[in-house]
Structure 1
């Protein structure tokens, strides 16, 4: 293929941003009913605002949802147990990767959260995990708490979600 193949201009209506340079997007061959059924990318389109990341940290799966109830958490943990995964709890004061001890390139504190006890090997009931969650919340009320699921067959973390976000956070 020659370089000219890729430099060939394409004929058709030109677009600038969301507005068309063409005065008539619809040929007269289409009926009015057809125009009503189709979507136009015309000048009345307003760009949709996305999530605001400023002072609004988001985490793993389910973090965009409102805080989960105990019943919702129990359903997620039951799913983990049904899949044969091992539930585990972790907590952290910051909840994100940060630099507190060193400014060296590649060094970050907070890569790993602190483990709450050991992973719950042999756990077969979500109420056991919920009891540990409540105990962790009582012990560390100003910490982020998340639940992980480890797959011991594939030797990997299969799932993670935030259970508790503190009202007062430590500044990073």
Structure 2
């Protein structure tokens, strides 16, 4: 089961050229871009580790791509890496875009377990499937 979180999650993985274009779009909108990584991409795990500080004053996507390359060197073989664009404008102050840009190789398989509970209810849990 492939992890599908954020924008573009059901598309094939973005190329670096496509990632660059999305980062430049975020910058053009005035959004701060940040890079995050996590070994556990569970949907309720909203607190991923941050790579450096959010890049508020970056004007060129090449700087973000350079940081992404460094993050991939350190964590790329074992972690998921995502980019987020944060809109700090008054009244919004939230993440506007977030998407996965790196998957560990091999990507762990996840299993969805379904359990029937009282009152015709269902409980779903995910777990990592052993290779």
Work out which of the residue numbers 45, 61, 64 in structure 1 matches 2:10: 64
TM-score (norm 1): 0.58
Higher Rg: 1
Runs (5+) with no aligned partner, structure 2: 109-126
Match of 1:139 in 2: 74
Q: What TM-score, normalized by structure 2, do the two folds share? A: 0.76
| 1:1-172 pair list within 5 angstroms | 55-97=1-43, 110-141=45-76, 142-153=78-89, 154-169=92-107, 172=128
Shift of 1:164: 0.6
Higher strand share: 2
How far apart, in 2, do the equivalents of 1:133 and 1:68 lie?
Answer: 13
CA contact (8 A) 1:94 1:169 kept: no
| Contact 2:32–2:87, Cα closer than 8 Å, also in 1 | yes
How many residues get paired?
Answer: 107
Higher relative contact order (Cα pairs below 8 Å, separated by 6+ residues)? 2
Which runs of at least 4 in structure 1 moved beyond 3 Å after TM superposition? Answer: 169-172
| Structure 1 unmatched runs, 5+ | 1-54, 98-107
Aligned-pair RMSD on alpha carbons?
1.5
